[in-house]
Amino acid sequence: MINLLADASMPALAQLVRTCQQAGMALQLETFSGRQPDASQLARAQVLLIRSITQVTKELLDQAPHVCWIGTATIGTEHVDAAACEARGIAFVSTPGVNAQAVGDYVASAVAALTLAQDAPLTGPVAIIGGGHTGQAAGARLQGLGYKVHCYDPPLVAQGINQRDGMPIHGNWQQVLTSAAISCHVPLTRSGPFATYHLLDDASIAQLPANCVLINASRGPVVAESALRAAANRQQPLRVVLDVWEHEPQIATDLLPWLSLATMHIAGHSMAGKVAGTLQLLQQLLSWLPSSELAQASGTAMPVHELPDLIDLLQAWPTSVQPQLWQANEAPDWRTLASWVLAIYDIRQDDLALRQQPAKPAAFDQLRRGYAHRPELSVGQVQGGSWLATEEWRKRLKQLTFQFK
C-alpha cells in the first residue's frame, strides 16, 4: 500500500485516486488543510502532493523519512528545496504551464477593467516580462484585445530566440520601462545573471510613464513593495495590479487604497487550471511508479491513458464549462471586447472580496481556499456577420481563446 499525502484543495484528486484504486492499485489518500502537513502525517507519507503554499524544506523532509516522490500542482517551484530533494533521492516534479490560460485571462480581465474604468484603451505598446507559458498566454490575450505586445526575456535572447507567437523577444529593459502596460511572468530567482528578485525596484518604478499599468501575477518579490510604497508616497500616477505579495500570506494593507486592483494570488485559479494541475500530477506519478522502489507496494500498475481526461473531470463543475454566447453583427470595438472578457471573468469581484476581508494571513488563505469555480475565456462563443470571416479577426478571437462560427 502506498500512502499519498495531499493538500486538501486539489480538486478531482479523490476521483482520480478512486479510479486508480478501482483498477487494482493499492493507494491510500490522506489530506491536510492549511499550509503545512503535521508531523504524524509526514511520518506516514510516501508520496506528497502539494500546491504553492507548502514549503518543502530540509526540516520538512527530516520529518518525512519515507517520502520518495513530491509533486507540486503549480507552475512556480521556489517553495520546494529541489536540491535537498535530490540529495535524498526524492523525485520532484511540477506542472509547467498548467494554469497559464487562467493567468492570461487574469491579465486580460485586469486590462479590460482598467480601460473601461478610464473609458480609454491603452495608448501604447504592452511589455510582457518573461516569455514562458503564462507570458505567452498573457501576450496573446492582449494582442487579441488589439494591443501591440513585446516581450522582455534576456534568457531567451541568450538562446537565440527572438520571436514567439507574434511577440518580438528582446533584452532591452528601457523598452519595458517606456511601455503603456507591463505584465510580469517570471519565476522567482534570487541569484544568477537573470535573477528576478526585485526586478522592478525603486529606480525602475520611478521611471514608469504616467498612467502606466503594472501587473504582477508571477511572484510577490519580483516587484519590490518598498518601491511601490515610495511611488504611492510621491503620488506617482500609476495603475498597479497585484495578485501576488512580497510577504504572503500577509498582504501590504497600507498599499490597498493606492492599488488599482488587488487580489489574493488567484490569477491561476480557474477550475480548469486547478483540475489540470491535479491530473498532470497523477499522470506523472503513474508514469514514474513502475520504475520505482514503490512499484511492488502499489500493486497493479494502471496505464496513464486510463485516467479520465480533463473534459470529463470538469463535468463535476458545470459552471466552469458552460458556454457564454455573443451575437455581434459588426466587429467589436475595444469596449465590447473588454465587456466580453469581464462577462466571463470579472477581476473586480476578486478585488472587492479581498478589500472586504480584514487583511490577516488567515483571511487571505481562507479566501483562496473558498475561491469560486472560475471558468476560462475559452467558454466564450461569438456568432456574427462577415467580419468573423476575416483573417485578422479569426486570429484575434483565437488569441482571446473565444470560439467562433
Q: How far apart are CB 76 and ligand DEZ at their closest, in Å?
A: 3
> With respect to ligand DEZ, which residue has the nearer C-beta, 317 or 393?
317
Q: Is 74 among the residues that bind ligand DEZ (CB under 6 A)?
A: yes
Binding mask 80-119 for ligand DEZ (x = CB under 6 A): -------------------x--------------------
The interface region with ligand DEZ, picked from 61-69, 71-79, 324-332, 374-382 by CB under 6 A, is 71-79
Please give the Cα distance from 140 to 374 (Å, whole number): 20
Contact 147, 230 (CB under 8 A): no
Binding mask 217-256 for ligand DEZ (x = CB under 6 A): ----------------------------------------
Please give the Cα distance from 167 to 51 (Å, whole number): 31
Of 133, 141, 265, 396, which is the active-site residue? 265
Binding mask 33-62 for ligand DEZ (x = CB under 6 A): ------------------xxx---------
> With respect to ligand DEZ, which residue has the nearer C-beta, 199 or 238?
199
Q: Is 196 among the residues that bind ligand DEZ (CB under 6 A)?
A: no
Q: How far apart are CB 99 and ligand DEZ at their closest, in Å?
A: 5
Q: Is 185 among the residues that bind ligand DEZ (CB under 6 A)?
A: no
Q: How far apart are CB 209 and ligand DEZ at their closest, in Å?
A: 28
Pull the grid cell for residue 121: 484603451
> Binding residues for ligand DEZ, how many (CB under 6 A)?
10
Q: Is 133 among the residues that bind ligand DEZ (CB under 6 A)?
A: no
> With respect to ligand DEZ, which residue has the nearer C-beta, 212 or 215?
215
Q: How far apart are CB 53 and ligand DEZ at their closest, in Å?
A: 5
The verdict on whether 141 is a catalytic residue reads no
Contact 216, 184 (CB under 8 A): yes
Q: How far apart are CB 141 and ligand DEZ at their closest, in Å?
A: 17
Q: How far is CA 337 from CA 97, 167, 181, 228, 308, in A?
A: 25, 21, 18, 30, 34
Render 190-225 in DSSP notation, one character per residue: -SSTT--TTSB-HHHHHHSPTT-EEEE-S-GGGB-H
Phi, psi of 106 (to 5 degrees): -60, -45
Find the binding residues for ligand DEZ in span 253-312 (CB under 6 A). Answer: 265, 268-269
* Maximum alpha-carbon separation in the chain: 65
Residues whose CB is less than 8 angstroms from the CB of residue 23 and which lie 6 or more positions away in sequence, other chains included:
300, 302, 306
Please give the Cα distance from 127 to 132 (Å, whole number): 14
Q: Is 132 among the residues that bind ligand DEZ (CB under 6 A)?
A: no
> With respect to ligand DEZ, which residue has the nearer C-beta, 51 or 396?
51
Q: How far apart are CB 389 and ligand DEZ at their closest, in Å?
A: 37
Edge-to-edge, what's the strand order for the sheet holding 213-216?
Answer: 163-164, 167-170, 149-152, 126-129, 181-184, 213-216, 239-242, 261-262
Pull the grid cell for residue 326: 455573443
> With respect to ligand DEZ, which residue has the nearer C-beta, 8 or 389?
8
Contact 102, 74 (CB under 8 A): no
From 4, 75, 224, 286, residue interacting with ligand DEZ (rule: CB under 6 A): 75
The verdict on whether 219 is a catalytic residue reads yes
> With respect to ligand DEZ, which residue has the nearer C-beta, 49 or 294?
49
**Residue 343, SS3 per DSSP:** helix
The verdict on whether 66 is a catalytic residue reads no
Q: What are the CB-based long-range contacts (under 8 Å, 24+) for 32-41?
A: 32/5, 32/6, 32/7, 32/8, 33/7, 33/8, 33/9, 33/369, 34/365, 35/249, 35/365, 36/60, 37/5, 39/63, 41/5
Q: How far apart are CB 130 and ligand DEZ at their closest, in Å?
A: 13
Element (H, E) at 182: strand 181-184
Contact 102, 376 (CB under 8 A): yes
249 prior amide bond cis, ω within 30: yes
> With respect to ligand DEZ, which residue has the nearer C-beta, 273 or 332?
273
Of 79, 141, 219, 368, which is the active-site residue? 219
Q: How far is CA 288 from CA 75, 282, 307, 386, in A?
A: 20, 10, 15, 51
Of 248, 373, 374, 376, which is the active-site residue? 248
Site residues, ligand DEZ (CB under 6 A): 51-53, 74-76, 99, 265, 268-269
Catalytic residues: 219, 248, 265
